[in-house]
Amino acid sequence: MKAISCKLLVIGAGPGGYVCATRAGQRGIDTVIVEAKKPGGTCLNIGCIPSKALIHAADEYHKVAQFAADDSPLGIHASAPRIDLAKTMVWKDEIVGRLNGDVAGLLKHAAVKVVEGWARFRDGKTVEVETETGLQVIHAEQVVIATGSRPVELAALPFGGRVISSTEALALRQVPRRMVVVGAGYIGLELGTAFAKMEAHVTIVEALPRILPQYDTALTRPVEMRLRQLGVDILTGAKATGLTAAGDGLKIETSDGQSKVLAADNILVAVGRTPFTAGWGLEAIDLDLDGPFLRIDERCRTSMRGIYAIGDVTGEPMLAHRASAQGEMVARIIAGEKRSWDSMCIPTICFTDPEIVVAGLLPEAAKATGIDIRIGMSPFQANGRALTLDQDAGFIRVVARADNHLILGIQGVGAGIAELSATFSTAIEMGARLEDITAIIHAHPTQSETMKEAARSALNHSLDPSRQNRLSQIHPQSTQ
C-alpha cells in the first residue's frame, strides 16, 4: 500500500482526537486521523453516552414501578410494569450509531482523511497502521496521541465469564438477578444504581472506608442514603479476593478479617481506568512518563518535538470534556496561534441518584491553601422547583475567599444538578464574587435559585438566618 504524508496525524478518534482533527481540518491543515474502532472513542461508544442512556431508562422504569406499587405521592397509578433490557439496548445503540455518524460527518466536512486500523509508531514522524486491506504507512510533520484509557483489570478477577467491565455491563440483554459491583467510584455507583432500579439485587464492595472517597461525606451522604433506599447493600472496608471454585460467587475479606462469599450472576469490576499506552509503539519513541501517563507541558507537548498528547493518556482528570478542550487548543497551536492551558476549573459530575457536581476547590482543598474561606450552603428542601419535582434531596455549596469573596469552588448534590455544572464553572472562570451571584436575578421557580441562596448564606445574608443554624447541625462539614 502506498505511503501517505500529512502535516498532522491524530491517533485516536475519541472526544479529544476527533475535535483536534476537525478543528485542524477546518483551518486548512492537511490532517489524517487513525481509529481502530468506531469514531467517538470510549465516551461515545462504551462510556458516557450509553451509560447515561441506560441510567435514563432505569429511572423511567423505576418511576413506573413505584406507581404500580401504589406508593406514588403524585397520585399516579400503573400496573404490571416490566423492562425489556434487550430492547433498551437497541434504543441505546441507535443513539450511539447516530452520534457515530455525526462524528464521521464532522471529520468528512473538515476534509480529514480517516484511516481505520491499529496505529503503531516506527519513529517520531512515521506510523504504520494495520488496516483490513494491508499495512498503511503514514508520514506526518506533527502527531497528536489521543489513545484514551481502558478499564483496570484486577489480577484476582480477570475479565471474562461472569466478571465484566463497564463495557460488557452496557451490553447486557437481561437484568441480572444478583449483581456485585467491585469499586464504589463513579462508574460503579452509576451502573450499580441503574441496575438496582431495574430490580437487580446489587451489592457494592469497596476496599476504602466509604463510597466516592474523592468527595467529602456531605456530598456523598445523600447518594448513600438513596442507594440504601433502593435496597443496595454497601460493604465498605471489604476487599475482593477472587471467585469461588464454581465461579458463581465473589470471595471477599471484610475489614475485621472475616471471609465471605457473595453469590452473583455478574460481577462488575469498576475500580478505575488506566491510560492506553501499550500496543502502539511507545517504546519506539521513548516519551517521558508521569507515572503511568504521558508527560505533557502547558501546551500538551510531550518530551519529543512535534508530538503532542491529549486526553486520558495524559492524566487526571480523565474526562471527555478535558480531552476535547485540549484537542481544540492543540489544533490552534498547530495552526500557528499562541495558546496554553489556563483553565481554572474542570467540572466533574457523578451521575448517581442524586447527581454530584464539583467545580473548583472543595472546602478542605481550599483550606489547605492557607487562605481564610467562607462557605455557604442552601438545601433543595427549601427550593420550590425541587419540591414540585418531588426531588428535594441535596444542596448547593459555595466556597469563597473570606477577604475579597472571590469564589473558589461550587459543589452540589441533587436531582438533575448536572445541568448546572456550566453555571458553576462559568462563575469560577469569570472570577465572580459572592456579591456577583447574589446580584443576578435567577428565574423562579428553578433549582438554580439555590446557588444564589448559597452565596447569600456565605455572606450571612440568608433570607432565613435560622436555616443556617439548622444546616450547621445537619451538615457540619458543608457550612461555615
pLDDT tens by residue, 142-201: 999 999 999 999 999 999 999 999 999 999 999 999 999 999 999 999 999 999 999 999
The pLDDT confidence band at residue 471, using thresholds 50, 70 and 90, is: low
**Residues 316-347: pLDDT tens digits?**
999 999 999 999 999 999 999 999 998 889 99
User: Is the sign of the CA dihedral 297, 299, 304, 310 positive or negative?
Assistant: positive
CA 247 – CA 447 distance, rounded (Å): 47
| pTM for this model (two decimals) | 0.93
pLDDT of residue 467: 57
Which of 77, 201, 444, 461 is catalytic? The answer is 444
Average pLDDT over residues 9-33: 98
List the grid coordinates of 113. Answer: 482523511
Q: Is residue 476 predicted with pLDDT exceeding 50?
A: no
pLDDT above 70 covers a percentage of the chain that reads 96
Predicted confidence (pLDDT) at residue 466 exceeds the cutoff of 80: no
pLDDT at 473 over 50: no
pLDDT 10s digits, 61-88 = 999 998 887 777 888 888 889 999 999 9
Which residue, among 88, 64, 86, 62, has the nearest Cα to 77 in the 3D structure? 64
Buried b (16+ CB within 10 A) or exposed e, 7-27: ebbbbbbbbbbbbbbbbbbbb
Evaluate if residue 478 carries a pLDDT over 70: no
**What is the pLDDT at residue 480?**
40
Active site residue 444: yes
The yes-or-no verdict on residue 474 having pLDDT over 80 is: no
Average pLDDT taken over every residue of the chain: 94
Please, what are the domains in the chain? Answer: 4-46+89-151+274-334 (3.50.50.60), 163-271 (3.50.50.60), 348-474 (3.30.390.30)
Of 25-29, 275-279, 372-376, 476-480, give the lowest mean pLDDT range.
476-480
Q: What average pLDDT does this structure show over 436-461?
A: 96
Q: Roughly what angle, to the nearest 10 degrees, separates helices 85-109 and 48-68? A: 150
Q: What does the CA dihedral 201, 274, 419, 179 come to, rounded to 10 degrees? A: 0
pLDDT in tens, 225-238: 999 999 999 999 99
Q: What is the pLDDT of residues 349-368, one digit of tens each?
A: 999 999 999 999 999 999 99
Look at the alpha carbons of 327, 102, 347, 225 in this order and tell me if their dihedral is positive or negative: negative
Q: What is the pLDDT of residues 378-397, one digit of tens each?
A: 999 999 999 999 999 999 99
Taking only the tens place, the pLDDT of each residue in 85-104 is 999 999 999 999 999 999 99
Q: How many CB atoms lie within 10 A of CB 51?
A: 21
Average pLDDT over residues 302-320: 97
